[in-house]
Amino acid sequence: FFIMLGPAPHLDGRYTRFAHVVDGLDVVQRLQVGDVMRRVERLP
């Protein structure tokens, strides 16, 4: 999957967005290659 920090029109029609960041964008901006997601929380 991809985490996009801005528009990515080159992906339109090729991939499906399945989530968005509602809180904690500072954490997203600190992500580095090789980081592991240990938990995902799905909100209604």
Question: What single-letter amino acid sits at 21?
Answer: V
Residue 13: predicted pLDDT: 87
Residue 34: predicted pLDDT: 92
Concatenated DSSP letters of 1-44: ----SS--GGGTTTS------SS-HHHHHT--TT----------
Residue 22: predicted pLDDT: 85
Cα–Cα distance for residue pair 17/36, rounded to 1 Å: 20
10-residue block means of pLDDT along the chain (44 residues)? Answer: 84 84 86 88 80
Residue 23: predicted pLDDT: 87
